[in-house]
């Protein structure tokens, strides 16, 4: 997925992203916190996978967020 790099940047706090969807904002903050406790490549991969699964599951309501993330 082309959004993997953007997800990594958000999880690593290299870019800030705020969504209109509360659930996405909560997921981002939880994954950032989780990654900050263990900054290994494996943990980053798990966090990115979780974010990809969230976007796959809720793709219909996250269309605007996907477009915005591609422009990051």
- Give the total number of structural domains in the chain: 1
2-24 mean pLDDT: 93
Residue pair 4/45 in contact (Cβ under 8 Å)? The answer is no
How far is it, in rounded angstroms, from Cα 39 to Cα 60?
Answer: 31
Structural element, H or E, at residue 33: helix 22-37
Parent domain of 58: 4-70
Segment 40-66, tens digit of pLDDT: 999 999 999 999 999 999 999 999 999
Residue 70 has pLDDT above 90, yes or no: no
């Amino acid at each position: 997925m082309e959004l993997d790099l953007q997800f990594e940047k958000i999880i690593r706090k290299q870019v800030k992203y705020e969504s209109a969807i509360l659930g996405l904002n909560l997921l981002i903050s939880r994954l950032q916190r989780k990654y900050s406790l263990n900054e290994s490549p494996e943990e980053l991969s798990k966090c990115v996978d979780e974010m990809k699964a969230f976007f796959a599951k809720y793709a219909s309501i996250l269309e605007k967020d996907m477009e915005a993330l591609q422009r990051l």
